[in-house]
Structure 1
Amino acid sequence: MTASRDADAPSMDGASADFAEIAPPLPSPTMLSPTQVQSGPPIEPLVRIVIYDPAQWETFVDEWVSSLKTKYHKVLRYTGANDRGIDVAGFEDKNYLQGVWDNYQCKHYRDAITPGTAWPEIGKMLWYSFRGEFAPPRAYYFVAPRGTGTTLTQYLTNSPALKAALIEAWPKAVADKITATQLIKLEGKFAEYVDAFDFSIFQPVSPREIIEQHRTTQYFIARFGGGLPPRPVVGAPPSDLAEHESVYVARLLAAYADHTKTEVPGLAALKAWKPLEDHFKRQRECFYHAEALRVFVRDKVEPGTFEGLQDEIYHGVADTADGDHADGFERVKAVTQAAQDVLLDAHPLGGSALVKDKRGICHQLANEDRLKWTK
């Protein structure tokens, strides 16, 4: 008996014999995270930057430039049409363009940078340094979403070949692109200057290098995600009070005095009240936890993020702080308990804030005169 076949099904004869059933993909060996269910799989930074439009690239570069500020005396970005081939400049000293400096040419190109794109930029650097408008930079880096192409990279790693190729291309690819007001011919003193110029200053920078430098900034997590790294264990507070503890400690002592109806002139006096002495030790430990969190996130999230966390805590405890309490000590306990109960799921630091951090932030707010324990 011949097996029946659907009339609409493709024949397996001839060219159709190349068809095959499509098998469903095998299940992932790992569980999906809530974030992946909501947003899909993470996109690598290298993939993200190649789809940036010019405005997004400019913002990314501005963020990345902040990573250079620890490397130089000053980092400046040049704007305007007449930038003379300078984009981002890192200066080693106060002599700026007449001293030791590096140039970062951070153009937004759809494709990897080719020699034809690079020649006019190199030409500007040669011409304007020849005229004495600035000293030649120590290094000149090409920075772009897709980096430099194979041919240009080969030239940039072989300075004699780079010079020879530029000189050959000059009449057609450079002479009329340095300035709109004149044709810059490679002749006379200028030709001698170019011939003696150190072409090894021109160097490629891979997008991966730029991303790794961007990773050290406060903007990386907000731009590329990935979450905060594991938080270090917080050690015990130092035995001696630090200067930045004076305000919140004084306010705690005033709250204890309000509770005991007796003057509490200093920490030594707390030995007369063991529960108060223990309470103070816990509050100080919480304060140092909050301070450790502030320092931990300082270089990892955008400016103002930790202050936003403090605001969340403040608004979560303000009504409790304003309420009626038997004394200042009771107010401290009520407010720190309210802080512990504040939900921070929507805040970017919520997952990193422990109970001690929440309670300690109350004492940071007391330091800033935003919370008071006694009327």
Structure 2
Amino acid sequence: MTAQEFENGPKIDPVLVIQTYDSGVWETFIDEWIHSLKDEYFSVMRPTGPGDKGIDVAGFTDDKKLLGVWDNHQCKHYKNPLSFGVVAPEIGKILWHSFNGVYVAPRSCAFIAPKGPSTTLDLLLANSDNLKTEVIEKWQKMIADKITTTQSVELTGDFETYVNDFDFSIFSAPAPRSVIEAHKKTPYYPGRFGGGLPSRPVAESPPDEIEPHEIAYTKKLLDAYADHKSQSISCATDLNAWSNLKEHFGRSREAFYHAESLRVFVREKADPGTFESLQDEIYDGVADTCESDHADGYARVVAVTDSAQSLALDAHPLNKSALPKDRRGICHQLANDGRLTWKK
């Protein structure tokens, strides 16, 4: 055991964690995963309540949505592995509603359950011809009365022809561990299963020229320097007369870019709002220092950024990720957003 495991207990396998979810949490878990597939889907829909016509979470590849190319993700939550009897009515709904033009048949339809499919169902799904045969043979017994609440759907006429011509290979039931591996790529994973964040990429260095998104905080820094020297300082080149201020300005820009890289990194790897909550904690921690009396604006900047580096952020999930340079940079982000000011 590591010291952390001795204190907190051994890490629980995520496959066992998802088996503790109720149906609502399970559907949210799948929704988190699908919503994170931004490069693959144009938009995502999650109908709730009765009458969803066999759709739990739909991922659309274009603005045609249900009339275009889309994937259906059926979230199933049972104490046992999925059986054919559970998914058969859902297959029937897809067949019936696509036949009637409620939507185009999905490109894929995955039945996702925390314990995965039973061996029998897994073998059926691996052979689309056998799956089709089983659906047709069991239609009257398992499916006909479970598609709508208003009628029994008979497998006859044009609908029977449609079913016989349908591509049953769109149906699948992924293993729980493969679903967890897919969810691992989302920003929600650490909050559900722990393990912290992966290593950060190296932050880019600030360019020689001030970028448009830097104008607010760099202008405030120049004003703070002007207050310190009691003379006009309107641009970065004016700092050539004072090496200490020039170096401070360069370090401040570097810290700002460091914090911006953390913002982008966290946005893609942690729950939405995680980085913003870190900004809020740092603001709350330095606000009194910022509002206290200081000799000049430059002294205020130094006092605030020093205070930020010494804050106790042990309870925040980013406490180990936010390096001293990030904390200084976050102060400049807060100045950029107008939440902190340096002038007396």
- TM-score range relative to shorter protein: over 0.9
In structure 1, distance between residues paired with 2:64 and 2:333? 42
Which of 231, 236, 260 is the matching residue for 2:200? 231
**What aligned pairs does 1:58-77 form with structure 2 within 5 A after superposition?**
58-77=27-46
In structure 2, distance between residues paired with 1:119 and 1:244? 55
Correspondence for 1:341: 310
Which of 102, 121, 125 is the matching residue for 1:152? 121
Q: How many residues align?
A: 344
In structure 2, distance between residues paired with 1:248 and 1:232? 24
CA 1:60–1:317 in structure 2 vs 1: closer, same or farther (change >3 Å)? same
Compute the displacement of 1:327 (Å): 1.0
Correspondence for 1:13: none
| Larger deviation, residues 252-261 vs 195-204 | 195-204
The reply on whether 1:88 has 2:33 as its aligned counterpart is: no
Equivalent residue letter for 1:298: R
The reply on whether 1:136 has 2:121 as its aligned counterpart is: no
Correspondence for 1:267: 236
Equivalent residue letter for 1:126: L
Correspondence for 1:126: 95
Alpha-carbon contact 2:31-2:57 (below 8 Å) kept: no
| Larger deviation, residues 283-292 vs 251-260 | 283-292
**What aligned pairs does 1:293-372 form with structure 2 within 5 A after superposition?**
293-372=262-341
Deviations 1:237-293 (A, max 9, x none): 222211111011101111111111111121111111111111111111111111121
In structure 1, distance between residues paired with 2:111 and 2:121? 10
Correspondence for 1:164: 133
Tell me the secondary structure at the aligned position of residue 316 of structure 1: helix
In structure 1, distance between residues paired with 2:77 and 2:70? 22
Correspondence for 1:15: none
Compute the displacement of 1:118 (Å): 1.4
CA 1:138–1:233 in structure 2 vs 1: closer, same or farther (change >3 Å)? closer
Structure of greater Rg: 1
**What aligned pairs does 1:167-206 form with structure 2 within 5 A after superposition?**
167-206=136-175
Deviations 1:32-78 (A, max 9, x none): 223x2332101111111122122321221222222233311111012
Q: TM-score, normalised by structure 1?
A: 0.88
Correspondence for 1:11: none
Correspondence for 2:2: 32
Tell me the secondary structure at the aligned position of residue 89 of structure 1: strand
Deviations 1:199-239 (A, max 9, x none): 11112222222212211212110110001112233343222
Tell me the secondary structure at the aligned position of residue 144 of structure 2: coil
Which of 35, 56, 70 is the matching residue for 1:101? 70
| Larger deviation, residues 300-309 vs 227-236 | 227-236
Equivalent residue letter for 1:120: P
Q: TM-score, normalised by structure 2?
A: 0.96
In structure 2, distance between residues paired with 1:128 and 1:232? 47
Correspondence for 1:48: 17
Equivalent residue letter for 1:50: Q
Alpha-carbon contact 2:34-2:59 (below 8 Å) kept: no
Equivalent residue letter for 1:74: S
Equivalent residue letter for 2:107: R
Tell me the secondary structure at the aligned position of residue 137 of structure 1: coil
Compute the displacement of 1:120 (Å): 0.9
Tell me the secondary structure at the aligned position of residue 232 of structure 1: coil
Tell me the secondary structure at the aligned position of residue 58 of structure 2: strand
- Following TM superposition, where does structure 1 have runs of at least 4 consecutive aligned residues deviating by more than 3 angstroms? none
Correspondence for 1:114: 83
Compute the displacement of 1:159 (Å): 1.1
